[in-house]
Structure 1
Amino acid sequence: MAIVLGENRYGKAETRLVRVTRDGETHTLADFNVSIALSGDLAATHLTGDNSGVLPTDSMKNTVYAFAKEHGVGEPEEFALRLARHFVETQTQIRAARVGIEAFGWERLGPHSFKRQGDHTRTAEVTVTVEQSQVVSGISGMVLLNSTNSEFHGFPRDKYTTLPETTDRILATAVDARWRHLHDPADWGKSYAGVVEALTRAFVETHSLSLQQTLFAMGSRVLSEQAEIAEIRLALPNKHHYLVDLSPFELTNDNEVFIAGDRPYGLIEGTVTRDDVPPAITEWYP
């Protein structure tokens, strides 16, 4: 039996970058968490300890900061593409570079004052190979809630089923979405905002018979309105809200008082895609 080296990559994870762009007294803030992974002709370092093809991960960290100074950062997709292309173009032993960015939002309070937006995180993951590139944008932790217009009934029952059917419940979730681009849009920021708006409006406007139905409605709305998107993957935890039994206090609970559950929770995942899109060049994750 032969023992061989399988797929491998290495890089610098979670380089924290804050870039202040100064336009007189008015400042703009970019707050990124950047992770880089490189793969290619790297067998020697694993098999013999020959590091002649191993660009130090410290160099990757320094590149993030130098590029932020020399070129600015712009949208996270733009910065990730610039970094990934740099490593593939300058390191002949590298066949593919993957750059992932978490972008943390700040709300402007004044010319140079900001408040951290803590309700969700924007993400971007770029993969660049010698032949082509792939951009996956995303959002995580966007909490949405409908206090009505949600039902769940008609499901199979077995001897362990205790869940009652309902025609009126709270539907809440924390949206984790990733979408792959067919091509680079003219404006990455506008594209991102359009996807988030489509996801939100579909959640609001769908009378839900299941969270699965809502997931498909959200993904379909994105693809119907954003021509640059090839497919979208969603992971929607069901943030359960349980009706409190107030009968011991001789009170009627008309869908007004709930316990917000923590765990366990249902997790609904799915991909909504166009039927004629080219395949992804590498695996990407929800």
Structure 2
Amino acid sequence: MAIVLGPNRYGKAETRVVRVTRDGGLHHIKDLNVGVSLSGDMEDVHLSGDNAAVLTTDAQKNTVFAFARKHGIGEIEDFALLLARHFVDSQPTIHHARVEIEEYAWDRVPVEDGPPGERHSFVRGGAETRTCLVHSDGTGGEESVVSGLKDLVVLNSTGSEFHGFIKDAYTTLAETDDRILATAVTARWRHRTVGSDWAASYTRARKGLLDAFAGTHSLSLQQTLYAMGRRVLTDGPELCEVRLVMPNKHHFAVDLSPFGLDNPNEVFFAADRPYGLIEGTVMDDVAPGSTSAWK
């Protein structure tokens, strides 16, 4: 039996970089979590411990900081592509780079007192986190960009039903034609080509998710998931595939009859676990195939 080395990669995970841009007294914040993974001619380091082909993970971390200073940070997709191309273009032993970024939003605190033009106080903004995942074989090589968000918490207090499901010996869940539907959306969407207006695309996709969630009378969370993914693709022709993960954040009506009270769907117990976990992919039928873009 022959034993061989299979696919492999290595890198620096979770480099936290905060970039402050000072425009006089007006400051701007970019707060990122950057992960880098590299692959290429790495057989010798695994088989014999020869590190000649290895760009250290410490150097990868330092590159993130240096590029934040030299180039600034605009849209996270552009910053990820800049890093990925650099790692492949600058090292002959590195053939492919994977860069994943999470961005944490900060909102400016309105200041009534203090010197005019001094605006440098912030509060963490938004519950969701913006994300992107970039793969690059270097400048001129094959590339892919997947953008997205996670922890977008949404709730419909009505307009959701659940009935007609399988009932076996272990089924206790009652059917309902009026329930709370709540979830924390993780959504990622794949761009057809590299070079979109990332900010506009993100804003449009996020709005599409929210519009479809609010506008769908739901008979199941699966139906809502599909409606949300379909809306993102319909509104964003630059996108070709959406993947969604949506835990069902159950809200159970509390039985108040022991206290002589009714409960017309007004008081609920919010259960954090266990929870249903709904996952699905929505794509157009001419989407270019690229399963590796998501990994």
When normalised by structure 2's length, the TM-score is: 0.95
Report deviation, 1:241.
0.2
Residue 215 of structure 1 corresponds to 225
- Does the alignment pair 1:113 with 2:121? yes
Aligned length: 285
Gaps of 5+ in 2: 111-118
Residue 137 of structure 1 corresponds to 147
Residue 33 of structure 2 corresponds to 33
**SS state at 1:70 partner:** helix
- Does the alignment pair 1:157 with 2:167? yes
Report deviation, 1:117.
2.1
After the TM superposition, list the runs of 4 or more consecutive aligned residues in structure 1 that deviate by more than 6 angstroms. Answer: none
Contact 2:143 2:194 in 1 (8 A): no
**SS state at 2:245 partner:** strand
| More off after superposition, 178-187 vs 87-96 | 178-187
**SS state at 1:28 partner:** strand
Match of 2:283 among 269, 273, 277: 273
**SS state at 2:292 partner:** coil
Cα 1:265–1:209 change in 2 (3 A) is same
AA matched with 2:205? V
CA distance in 2, matches of 1:258, 1:185: 46
CA distance in 1, matches of 2:151, 2:27: 27
CA distance in 2, matches of 1:184, 1:112: 34
Contact 2:101 2:133 in 1 (8 A): yes
Residue 202 of structure 2 corresponds to 192
CA distance in 2, matches of 1:129, 1:266: 38
Contact 2:144 2:293 in 1 (8 A): no
Residue 57 of structure 2 corresponds to 57
Report deviation, 1:265.
0.2
When normalised by structure 1's length, the TM-score is: 0.97
**SS state at 1:140 partner:** strand
AA matched with 2:203? A
CA distance in 2, matches of 1:228, 1:22: 33
CA distance in 1, matches of 2:293, 2:81: 17
- Does the alignment pair 1:11 with 2:7? no
- Does the alignment pair 1:245 with 2:265? no
CA distance in 2, matches of 1:135, 1:270: 19
**SS state at 1:282 partner:** helix
AA matched with 2:212? A
Report deviation, 1:156.
1.0
**SS state at 2:204 partner:** helix
Report deviation, 1:59.
0.6
CA distance in 1, matches of 2:195, 2:252: 43
CA distance in 1, matches of 2:208, 2:282: 14
CA distance in 2, matches of 1:185, 1:140: 23
CA distance in 2, matches of 1:93, 1:278: 29
Contact 1:185 1:228 in 2 (8 A): no
Gaps of 5+ in 1: none
% identical aligned pairs:
60
Cα 1:217–1:185 change in 2 (3 A) is farther
Report deviation, 1:190.
1.3
